[in-house]
Structure 1
Amino acid sequence: MDEEWFELFPRARTEIAPGAVHVPDWLGPDRQRELVEACRAWARPPGGLRTVRTPGGGTMTARQVCLGLHWYPYGYATAAVDGDGAPVKPMPQWLAELGRAAVGAAYAGPDAGPYAEPTGASDLAYDIALVNFYDADARMGMHRDAEEKSGAPVVSLSLGDTCVFRFGNTASRGRPYRDVQLRSGDLFVFGGPSRLAYHGVPKVYAGTAPPALGLTGRLNLTLRVGGLGGLGT
């Protein structure tokens, strides 16, 4: 019933919290397929898709590959220090440009809401991408993207299976939070007052990816501005 409803009445751009914006269906089918193929190439070794292990000895159920700089709990490096040790793959210029376009799409226009990103999107230098792959059983606990030294908005792009994206507050992992369904092609941007909000993925709806995408599972591309100076040089 829900899928039929969304087809009859297209989902609207929604401000989930000040500075946190959901833009449904931002990526068209062709761009989605291009991104899936790019993710497949990035996932190959060396420096490919890996299982992330936490300092406490646990493992994340979503697997990850990084571009630009390698994220590990809880910092950045120029090589896959918790993987095969290979140098991190470069951040493509076209992906950085897509990040800037995403910020413009989220914050610009007459319906952009009361919050407007103070930094022009054309000035944002997206230099890090985290690509997370979720199978049917994968989840992501509530966390903050706090290792960057830049306050630029985080850009999240969804491909494949639909998920529940839980967007919370900046004080704790608990309530208040809001659950949003992210479908293939959706954009979510959070910056400004919501830049350090806790967020996570408690559920993935297996088998909901568009058949033409050729993807089983969910891919999430998270684009960030590191502000980390010479770490990446």
Structure 2
Amino acid sequence: MRHVFLKEVNAFLNSLIAYIVLSVFLIGVGLLVWVFPETSVLDYGYADLDTFFSFGPYVLLFLLPAITMRTFAEEKKAGTLELLYTRPLTDWQIILGKYLSSLFLLLLALLPTLLYYYSLSELGNPPGNIDGAAVAGSYLGLFLLGASFAAVGVFASSLTENQIISFLVALFLCFLLYTGFSSLAALDVLGSTGYVVQQLGILYHYGALSKGLIDSRNVLYFISLILLMLMLTKLVLSSRKW
């Protein structure tokens, strides 16, 4: 698994797309938080990162599929996936190695944004006048959301050898999981069951964590979603033996 993890990280960081994707993410959220008048915290007048945590998921919606689209698709197209199977590795070791490399790259993208928290803390009046618990909960929620998107992306990549198709499938599934259930729950025809449907979506649980109250039920939801996507990936890879 360690070999797969290092191989994936090195392959990504040695490609131009890695720096383009990470740069687009950091520049995009930076402009939203600090520059654009409609969303800038400097114009908002309050020391919080609501803008970042509100728009961050939509940026990750594109970032994670772009990171994960090559995990299995490229291996299939190059014919190296079968070579990987000849090594003393189980399907789960291959899947987890590729998935953990995606999480590492997610952390690589999120870590520089901690400067936003430090900057706002220093700019507050008085300095340090920022809700640290809410920020911590929001960062946890954003990481778990990104981890879920990464699991969806790995699953989508296992379905095809075309990276563009993998990206589009992952993008569609991530968007559906993030906002689809909340939109469906808003329909009048569902009545009181709308609340139950809403809880099936990522947006509900991410919003709960963003309030700074870390409920184990919300964390368990993300973990369950990640495990489900990875199990589906295992099912797809195992189908080669049928």
User: TM-score w.r.t. structure 1 length?
Assistant: 0.27
Point out the structure with the larger helix share.
Answer: 2
Which protein has the larger Cα radius of gyration, Structure 1 or Structure 2? 2
User: TM-score w.r.t. structure 2 length?
Assistant: 0.26
Point out the structure with the larger strand share.
Answer: 1
